[in-house]
Amino acid sequence: MQHADSSITQYSAAANVRQPPPSTGPRFFYLQLAAALLVTFGLIGWLLTTRTAANPEGAASLAIELEVIGAVIASVFVAAVWLNLAITVIGWRRRTVSSEVRAGRLAEATLEGILIHNERAIIDANRALADMVGVDVSALIGRPMLELFANEQRAAVDEMSREQGAEFIEASLLCGGGAATPVELRSRTLEFEGQLAMITVIRDVSERKRAAERIRHLAHYDSLTDLPNRVLFWDRLHQALAMARRHNEQVAILCIDLDHFKEVNDTLGHAAGDRLLKEAAQRLRGSLRDSDTLARLGGDEFAVIMSNLREGTLAAECAKRIVEALSVTFDLDGNEAVIGASVGIALSNPAEEDDPETLLRCADLALYRAKTEGRGAFRFFAEEMNVRLQARKLLERQLRHAMIEGQFELYYQPQVEAGSWRILGVEALIRWRHPERGLIMPSEFVPLAEETGLIVPLGEWVLRTACKQAQPWGDLRLAVNLSATQFRQPGLEDAVARALAESGFDPQRLEVEVTETILLQDIEASLDALRKIKRLGVRIAMDDFGTGYSSLSYLRTFPFDKIKIDRSFVHDLGQTEEASAIVRAVVQLGRSLGIRTSAEGVETRTQADILLLDGCDEVQGYHFGLPMSVDELETMLLRSGTQPLSLPPSMTAA
Ligand SMILES: Nc1nc2c(ncn2[C@@H]2O[C@@H]3COP(=O)(O)O[C@H]4[C@@H](O)[C@H](n5cnc6c(=O)[nH]c(N)nc65)O[C@@H]4COP(=O)(O)O[C@H]3[C@H]2O)c(=O)[nH]1
């Protein structure tokens, strides 16, 4: 870009340097010096002439010579004073000139725009300002300076530039093509070419603003999906609820949780997990109205705020779209992942003062319900969920207390060999002897213990206690359940080894029962733990076989010692041909893989006979013995040992 030369280089105002008076220029001093010398020599000449006239014989007396010498010395002195003065002034002048040049150069070199104006008309500007505006300096001269700023800011700029000592103000500098640059400016008065003017310094703050905006964005948006984060979500929720109250409308919060996300993360890695989250965020966005807020609250947890709702059915329709969108297979760089989503919905009540925390908690409870009722679905919040939540919290407190108080007991159920009907072993089953509620079954507290992680210390207690109690029972085998949560903790194999060492229990007598859920999570870590436990000499049984989706495929991943056929198949034996076919198939599969099979939940003689006929190796169920206390079991063992049990008539569970 061409720039007309700025006269800013010609004045020293910007550097606050005073102009020297015109009568002190170097030429003037040289003239004065010459005049002084001329006067001196003239004076000497005149003296010599007059003295010669007064003494016509030409005899120079001593007095005359002294006068002449005095005059010469005086002249040299005057000349020296003049010379010194001249050198000082010239030096000062030189410095002054270089200050001007420097000030001019500084004005040109600075990145800040500089504007000199008088009566709001631009007198001069530097190149930086011209660059900012996108014109030549010459095009700025004479223009009203307020024209450079956005319309609505002109009054403020004007006021600032009139007020001596005003602070920096922010404004938008209008640039070519209608663009505006955010700037900061401040003015001062100065003397410019003999008159009073204003100098305004204009600083481009767009980079600073962009940095501030980036920081603000990072504080409010999730960096992976670029969706609003929890902070912004709360802000929007507060606003939405306030608006809804004013307009007598409803707000819906939808809490969304991706089903099986953890498995994808664990099996395909975190990069695949991240891609899935991004894709899920896009699908979610596509299922919503433009006015809805979609936020990522953390991990695989998303939430939606739907405002201006006149009816809750809109939220249900939206939740349905979300569930459908997320159930479509994800393609993660060639790996297919099927996840799905569960949604919990809570609606605000415009007649009441809903607080955001409660509303979100309600949506969370509804989500929890959706997940526990099978996932891939949505549920609206209902008050009874709150009641259940309170009950769960109470149970959790009591559970922790029970551990400290030692309120747990082990019951043992016989495991019987098919055909000989001898007791081969026992399965340890935990019970909670509650001081007020009596004996509580594991289905009431084991899932909660798993969720809260309490199952880890509880599971260790079971292992230690069972090994100790079963130690004196001859060569009876002992089966102990291990939960998937225990496999998530490192050092499970150490806990098993410790329990064996402490009690002196023969590892060959111990069998741990695991369900396929342990292989749904970090499969490698779980297999590693299983291998280490097996290396101790302990046997591994796959429990509840047939209830999962991939029981069969997991049989290939690890050399299980036993398959326990789930009681749901045993229950229908003799009633449906299908149940018999399944049991037969599993038994044959076990045979071909060299794995023993055991049937759970045998309640009738007929079931036992069919299982024997089908080749099942072991049976377990109420028909052969209910879970019993240590005393009951020891009494039974004392009475009849592991002799063939007299098969009691069919009985039902208590
Ligand atoms: N309907 C019917 N049921 C029968 C019959 N025979 C046995 N059962 C019940 O079936 C369950 C067998 O245990 P499981 O499948 O490992 O299922 C266990 C196991 O998954 C879990 N559990 C029990 N004790 C422990 C433990 O110490 N640690 C862990 N992690 N889980 C345990 O709790 C579940 C339930 O235990 P229990 O209530 O003791 O229920 C036991 C047992 O009482 C029958 O003929 N008919």
DSSP 561-575: SEEEE-HHHHHTTTT
Residue 15 has pLDDT above 60, yes or no: no
- Ligand 1 pocket member 300 (CB < 6 A): no
CA of residue 269 to ligand 1 center, whole Å: 34
Distance CA 206, CA 209 (A): 5
CA of residue 216 to ligand 1 center, whole Å: 54
Which 3-state string (H, E, C) describes 237-261? Answer: HHHHHHHHHHCCCEEEEEEEEECCH
- Per-residue pLDDT, averaged over 148-159, amounts to 90
CA of residue 429 to ligand 1 center, whole Å: 6
Nearest alpha carbon, ligand 1 atom 16: 481
Lowest mean pLDDT among 13-17, 84-88, 364-368: 13-17
Lowest mean pLDDT among 120-129, 519-528, 574-583: 519-528
From first CA to last CA, the distance across the chain in angstroms is 95
Residue 16 has pLDDT above 50, yes or no: no
Nearest alpha carbon, ligand 1 atom 15: 544
The pLDDT of residue 24: 46
Rounded to the nearest 5 degrees, what angle is found at the Cα of 460, between the Cα atoms of 457 and 463?
Answer: 155
For the whole prediction, is pTM greater than 0.90? no
Which residue in 615, 611, 536 sits closest to 567, CA to CA? Answer: 611
The predicted-structure confidence for 256-312, as pLDDT tens digits, reads as follows 999 889 888 888 888 999 999 999 999 999 999 999 999 999 999 999 999 988 888
Joined together, the tokens standing for residue 343 give 């949604």
Lowest mean pLDDT among 287-296, 433-442, 454-463, 571-580: 571-580
CA of residue 427 to ligand 1 center, whole Å: 9
- Ligand 1 pocket member 621 (CB < 6 A): yes
CA 593 to chain centre: 48
- Ligand 1 pocket member 414 (CB < 6 A): no
Burial 519-558 (b: 16+ CB within 10 A, else e): bbbbbebbbebbebbbeeebbbbbbbbbebeebeebbeeb
Residue 376 has pLDDT above 50, yes or no: yes
- Per-residue pLDDT, averaged over 611-617, amounts to 95
The predicted-structure confidence for 460-488, as pLDDT tens digits, reads as follows 999 999 999 999 999 999 999 999 999 98
List the beta bridge partners of residue 330: 337
Which residue in 71, 65, 62, 78 sits closest to 43, CA to CA? Answer: 71
Whole-complex ipTM:
0.98
Residue 4 has pLDDT above 60, yes or no: no
**Strands 378-380 and 618-619, how do they pair?**
unpaired
Quick check: 148 and 174 in contact, CB under 8 A? yes
CA of residue 637 to ligand 1 center, whole Å: 21
CB neighbours of residue 319 within 10 Å: 27
Q: Residue 517: which H helix or E strand, with range?
A: none
Quick check: 512 and 496 in contact, CB under 8 A? yes
Nearest alpha carbon, ligand 1 atom 9: 601
Amino acid, res. 266: D
Distance CA 593, CA 91 (A): 107
Cα→Cα distances 515→156, 477, 504, 565, Å: 74, 19, 27, 11
What is the strand order of the sheet 250-258 is part of?
293-298, 301-309, 250-258, 341-347, 378-380
- Ligand 1 pocket member 458 (CB < 6 A): no
Quick check: 308 and 249 in contact, CB under 8 A? yes
Distance CA 631, CA 645 (A): 18
Lowest mean pLDDT among 17-26, 148-157, 476-485: 17-26
Among residues of the chain, what percentage have pLDDT more than 90?
54
Q: Residue 491: which H helix or E strand, with range?
A: none
Joined together, the tokens standing for residue 571 give 């229950």
Distance CA 600, CA 627 (A): 13
Residue 94 has pLDDT above 70, yes or no: no
Confidence category of residue 176, pLDDT binned at 50, 70, 90 = confident
- Ligand 1 pocket member 604 (CB < 6 A): no
Nearest alpha carbon, ligand 1 atom 23: 429
Amino acid, res. 317: E
Nearest alpha carbon, ligand 1 atom 44: 601
Quick check: 161 and 171 in contact, CB under 8 A? no
Pocket probe mutation, ligand 1, options 399, 481, 516, 652, max atoms within 8 Å of Cβ: 481
Distance CA 605, CA 650 (A): 6
Distance CA 114, CA 108 (A): 9
Residue 164 has pLDDT above 90, yes or no: no
The closest-lying atom of ligand 1 relative to the alpha carbon of residue 429 is 24
CB neighbours of residue 618 within 10 Å: 22
